[in-house]
Amino acid sequence: MQFRLLRNGRMGKIEIQHLTKDFPNRRRNARPGDDSGLQFGDRIEVLRDIDLTFDRGEMICILGPSGCGKSTLLKIIAGFENPSTGRVLIDDKPVCGPSSNHIFVFQHSGLLPWMTVWQNVGMGLRHMPGNGQRQEKIQEYIDLVDLTGFENYFPYQLSGGMQRRAELARALAVNPDMLIMDEPFSGLDFLTHMKMREEVVNMHEFIGKTILLVTHNIDDALIMGDRVVLMSGRPSEVKLMRKLAFEHPRNYEEEPELNELREELYFMLGVSYAV
Amino acid sequence: MPMDGSLKTIYRARLVSLSLPLVGFALGLLLWEVLVRASGQSAHVLPGPLQVVTSMGELIADGTIFKHAVASLFRVTAGFYLAILFGIPLGILLGRLKSAWHVLNPVIQFLRPISPLAWIPLAMLWFGIGDKPAIFLIFLSSFFPLVVSTTVAVGAINPVYFQVAANFNLTRLEVITKIVVPAIVPSVVTALRITVMIAWVVVVAAEMIAVQSGLGYLILDSRNALRLDYVMVGMIVIGMIGLILDWAMRRLGRIEFARWNAGQG
């Protein structure tokens, strides 16, 4: 991918203040094997008092056990859900609903399956004045993610990796301050995963937008992140937050500190023997 | 040459798939002929295939059959389009607006199982005689299935697409035109295919009352004249037009706009 077009002012400072999220239990009978003792109508706490501040232009990787509320946190930051208490500020303005300033990249494809790659990428550019200018811009972003020649393909005709790239192009085309990615590499084969990771790191180094990324892959977080956040199981709290000031491309052998952190993270997530 | 060999395989498969249905029809005709001969009934009670074909020739020659077929098709088309015009927007509304759904769904579910034929007395009283009551009955037969399947289709849209829409600041109108409508097209086309068959079945019954034309009228009128061969001609034409309608609706399902879910099976 080439990123010559994407330089803009670094934006997207995120402050999360005293954020909690809970919802009432709607189950009348406990699930088999559930020993939480929850009654009908009890509050289920998903997020408990989250306080985090991220700088502009950082790549933040959020780790945590599955079902811990990472995705809920992302959806609150994106404005798709409301917190129970607390608030999220982006560039000092409270988040009140979804906006094209912070684009969500969905875990499984968020491309609209009835639109071609061209139409999907053009979605955020509907109101651009001048048809010629608009077409040029769509083409630029399609070229950017190396999908030239696939403009008129429908998502189901593309491979998993190409679908992620098309969604990335659609997100970048509206020039958001921030990208929010929910497990962006899940479901990709090993090689495509590695390549996409590299491409996202390159993209981030170049465009400097804030990227908030949820993953369950410790290596993804350590190789990519400027900052790694570890969340505990439900109710989710911040267990660890660390700045990672290592040069890219990163390598465990050359950065013993990174390797130590890796083992620590594995241990904190309940795995005693990290390979 | 392998190329020729594989082409031959394709053509042979195509020939088989085209000829097998004809074998089915031929077997049916044979069974019919055998039954006629074995029963020993007179041609007035149970006409044989040959006689029905001759009678069909008569009705084609004097144009009667076309007149009736066109009359029936007109009523089905009118009633069906009215049902689409009202049913699909209502279905979208019910699918998008939870409160409207809670209010109207019980009423719709209550009216749905009432056969359109039960409405005949009311239809005649309200619309008199002629095309109108028949069109009204066709409308009723298609309207409720279309509303229900549209509502279900809207409810089944992946919520992610609405989040994408919100993320890119789509207006309410754009959500309908760019998300909801294209998302439901494949299921709505399937619903149309089923519904047009219901409408076609109902038109015959509707034409047995209060009209002087149409295939249903032809059948009723021929029975009164004790021309069972004409009755059978009417039935055969109904079957043939039904096949054509189904084929046309399947073609509709193959246009690109309705095929975005091809990859999902």
CB atoms within 10 A of CB B226: 10
- Provide the residue ranges of all domains of chain A, joining segments of one domain with +: 7-25+42-101+179-275, 114-175
| CB-based contact B33:B49 (threshold 8 Å) | yes
User: Which residue of chain A is at minimal alpha-carbon distance from B258?
Assistant: A114
CA distance A228 to A60: 6
Report whether pLDDT(B230) > 80.
Answer: yes
> Can you state the angle between helices A160-173 and A131-144, rounded to 10 degrees?
140
More confident call, A34 vs B62: B62
pLDDT tier for residue B165 given thresholds of 50, 70 and 90? very high
CA distance A230 to A241: 6
Q: What is the per-residue pLDDT for A235?
A: 84
Using CB atoms within 10 Å of the CB of residue B94, give its burial: 0 to 12 exposed, 13 to 18 middle, 19+ buried.
buried
Rounded to an integer, the average pLDDT of B64-82 is: 93
pLDDT tier for residue B81 given thresholds of 50, 70 and 90? very high
Residues 209-238, chain B, touching A (beta carbon < 8 A): none
Report whether pLDDT(A19) > 50.
Answer: yes
| CB-based contact A84:A20 (threshold 8 Å) | yes
Using CA atoms in the order A226, A232, A237, A241, what is the torsion angle rounded to 10 degrees? -20
Longest dimension (CA), chain A: 62
What tokens does B72 get?
Answer: 């029936």
Given an 8 Å threshold on Cβ–Cβ distance, is A97 in contact with B166?
A: yes
Given an 8 Å threshold on Cβ–Cβ distance, is B168 in contact with A123?
A: yes
Using CA atoms in the order A136, A142, A144, A146, what is the torsion angle rounded to 10 degrees? -140
User: Which residue of chain B is at minimal alpha-carbon distance from A81?
Assistant: B163
- The strand pairing partners of B241, in sequence order, are none
Given an 8 Å threshold on Cβ–Cβ distance, is B160 in contact with A106?
A: yes
- The strand pairing partners of B245, in sequence order, are none
Report whether pLDDT(A34) > 70.
Answer: no
Question: What tens digit of pLDDT does each residue of A100-110 get?
Answer: 888 999 888 88
Across the interface, which of A98, A123, A126 has its CB nearest the CB of B163?
Answer: A98
Q: What is the per-residue pLDDT for A275?
A: 63
User: Against a cut of 0.80, is the pTM above it?
Assistant: yes
Superfamily of domain A7-25+42-101+179-275: P-loop containing nucleotide triphosphate hydrolases (3.40.50.300)
Rounded to an integer, the average pLDDT of A141-165 is: 88
pLDDT tier for residue A39 given thresholds of 50, 70 and 90? confident
| ipTM of predicted assembly, 2 dp | 0.85
Residues 68-127, chain A, touching B (beta carbon < 8 A): 78-80, 97-100, 103-104, 106, 108, 110, 112-115, 123-124, 126
pLDDT tier for residue A1 given thresholds of 50, 70 and 90? low
List Cα–Cα distances, B168 to A102, A105, B42, B97, B164, in angstroms.
Answer: 9, 12, 74, 22, 6
Given an 8 Å threshold on Cβ–Cβ distance, is A110 in contact with B164?
A: yes
